[in-house]
Amino acid sequence: MDQALAIAVSILFLGTAYAMILYIISVGLSVTMGLMGFQNLAHGVFAMAGGYVCTRTMAEFGVPFLPSLVLAFVVVAAISVAFERLLYARLYGAGELEQVLFTIGLAFMAIAAAKFMFGPISQRVDLPDYLKGQIEFMGRGFPTYRVFLIVVGVAIIAALWLAIERTTFGAQVRAAVDNRRMAESLGINTGRLFTLTFALGSGLAGLGGALGADILPVDPGYPLRHLVYFLIVVAVGGLGSLRGPFVAALLLGIGDSACTILVPQIGAFFVYAVTLGLLLWRPQGLFGRM
Amino acid sequence: MAPHARDAARTSPVDSLVTRHRLRPLELLPWVLVIPPYWLFDTYLPLGSEILIMVLFALSLDLILGYAGIVTLGHAAFFGLGAYTAGILAANGWGEPISGLAAAAAVAGATGYVTGRIILRAHGLTLLMMTLVIVLALNEAANRMGWLTGGADGLSGIEMWPLLGLFRFDLYGRTGYVYAAAVLFVAWIFVRRIVHSPFGRSLTGIRENVTRMHAIGVPVRTRQVTIYAIAAVLAGIAGGLLAQTTQSVALTVMTFERSGAILIMLVLGGVGRLYGAFVGVPAYMIAQDNLARLDPVYWYFWVGLMLVVVVLFARGGILGIVDRARDLVVRRRP
* Cα B301 to Cα B307: distance, rounded to the nearest angstrom: 10
State mean pLDDT over B97-115.
92
Nearest of B62, B47, B6 to residue B242 by alpha carbon: B47
Taking the C-alpha atoms of residue A261 and residue A259, their distance in angstroms, rounded to an integer, is: 5
CA separation (Å) from B4 to B7, B26, B52, B331?
Answer: 5, 18, 36, 9
Nearest CA among A77, A83, A56 for reference residue A68: A56
CATH number of A7-123+133-281: 1.10.3470
CA distance B82 to chain A (A): 20
- B305:A105 CB<8 A: yes
B311/A113 CB distance under 8 A: no
Which residues of chain A fall short of a pLDDT of 70? 1, 288-290
> With an 8 Å Cβ cutoff, are B307 and A265 in contact?
no
pLDDT at B79: 94
Nearest residue on chain A to B307, alpha-carbon basis: A105
pLDDT above 70 covers a percentage of chain B that reads 92
Using one digit for the tens of pLDDT, what is the confidence trace for A57-91? 888 888 888 888 999 999 999 999 999 888 888 88
How far apart are alpha carbons A204 and A29 in whole angstroms? Answer: 10
Which residue would you say has higher pLDDT here, B166 or A157?
A157
> Quick check: A105 and B308 CB within 8 A?
yes
pLDDT score, position A289: 58
Q: What are the chain B neighbours of A101 within 8 Å (beta carbons)?
A: 263-264, 267, 307, 310-311
The verdict on a CB contact (< 8 Å) between B137 and A273 is yes
Question: B10 pLDDT exceeds 60?
Answer: no
Query: Which of B122, B124, B297 is the closest to A112 by Cβ?
Result: B297
Name the DSSP class of A133: S
The size of chain A, in residues, is 290
CA dist., res. B157 & res. B249, Å (int): 10
Q: Give the model's confidence band at B161: pLDDT under 50 very low, under 70 low, under 90 confident, else very high.
A: confident
pLDDT in tens, B277-311: 888 888 888 888 887 777 777 788 888 888 888 88
Looking at A2-42, list the stretches that DSSP marks H as alpha helix, in order from N- to C-terminal side: 2-36
Closest alpha carbon to A54 in A214, A221, A229: A214
| Interface contact A279-B125, CB threshold 8 A | no
Distance CA B69, CA B72 (A): 9
The C-alpha angle B216, B220, B224, rounded to 5 degrees, equals 150
Name the β-bridge partners of A21. Answer: none
| Largest Cα span, chain A | 62
pLDDT of res. B248: 84
> Which of B134, B140, B304 has the CB atom closest to A105's CB atom?
B304
Q: Would you say residue B5 has pLDDT above 60?
A: no
- Indicate yes or no: CB of B304 within 8 angstroms of CB of A96: no
Instruction: Answer whether A103 touches B (CB < 8 Å).
Output: no
Split at pLDDT 50, 70, 90, the class of B3 is: very low
pLDDT the model gives residue B11: 58
Mean pLDDT on B174-191:
89
CB contacts of B119 in chain A (<8 Å) are 280
Cβ contact, residue pair A109, B300, below 8 Å: yes
Of residues B71, B137, B304, nearest to A272 (C-beta): B137
Please give the DSSP secondary-structure letter assigned to residue A137: E
> For position A123, what pLDDT does the model report?
83
- CB-nearest to A101 from B122, B141, B311 is B311
Sort out which chain A residues have CB atoms less than 8 A from B151's CB and list them: none
pLDDT of A48: 93
For A180-206, b/e burial (b = at least 16 CB within 10 A) is beebeeeebebeebbbbbbbbbbbbbb
At B2, the pLDDT band (50, 70, 90 cuts) reads very low
Q: What is the pLDDT of residue B93?
A: 81
The answer to whether the CB atoms of B125 and A280 lie below 8 A apart is no
Position B239 scores a pLDDT of 93
Query: Residue B321: how many CB atoms within 10 A of its CB?
Result: 14
Three-state SS for A284? coil
**Domain residue extents for chain A:** 7-123+133-281
Q: Of the candidates A93, A84, A71, which has an alpha carbon nearest to the alpha carbon of residue A28? A: A84
Res. B1: pLDDT tops 60: no
Query: What is the amino acid identity at position A211?
Result: L
CB contact under 8 A, B315 and A98: yes
The pLDDT of residue B82 is 94
Residues of B in contact with A94 (CB under 8 A): 311
Residue B305 φ then ψ, to 5°? -60, -40
**B118 touching chain A per CB within 8 A:** yes
Question: pLDDT category, B333, cuts 50, 70, 90?
Answer: low
* Interface residue A228 vs chain B (CB under 8 A): yes
Q: What is the largest CA-CA distance in chain B?
A: 72
B314 CB near a chain A CB, below 8 Å? no
Which residue among B128, B301, B311 sits closest to A39, beta carbon to beta carbon? B128
CA count, 13 A, side-chain hemisphere, B40 = 6
Q: What is the 3-state secondary structure (H, E, C) of chain B?
A: CCHHHHHHHHCCHHHHHHHCCCCCHHHHHHHHHCCCHHHHCHHHHHHHHHHHHHHHHHHHHHHHHHHCCCCCCCCHHHHHHHHHHHHHHHHCCCCCHHHHHHHHHHHHHHHHHHHHHHHCCCCHHHHHHHHHHHHHHHHHHHHHCHHHHCHHHCECCCCCCCECCCECCCCCCHHHHHHHHHHHHHHHHHHHHHHHCHHHHHHHHHHHCHHHHHHCCCCHHHHHHHHHHHHHHHHHHHHHHHHHHHCCECHHHHCHHHHHHHHHHHHHHCCCCCCHHHHHHHHHHHHHHHHHHHCHHHHHHHHHHHHHHHHHHCCCHHHHHHHHHHHHHHHHCC
Residue B153: what residue type? Answer: D
Which one has a higher pLDDT value, B71 or B39?
B71
Candidate from A102, A231, A280 with C-beta closest to B307:
A102
A232 with B141: Cβ contact below 8 A:
no
Count of Cβ atoms closer than 10 Å to residue B173 Cβ? 22
pLDDT of residue A269: 84
Side chain identity at residue A238, one-letter code: G
Average pLDDT, chain B: 84
Residues in chain B, how many? 334
Query: What's the gap in Å between the CA of B87 and the closest CA on chain A?
Result: 22
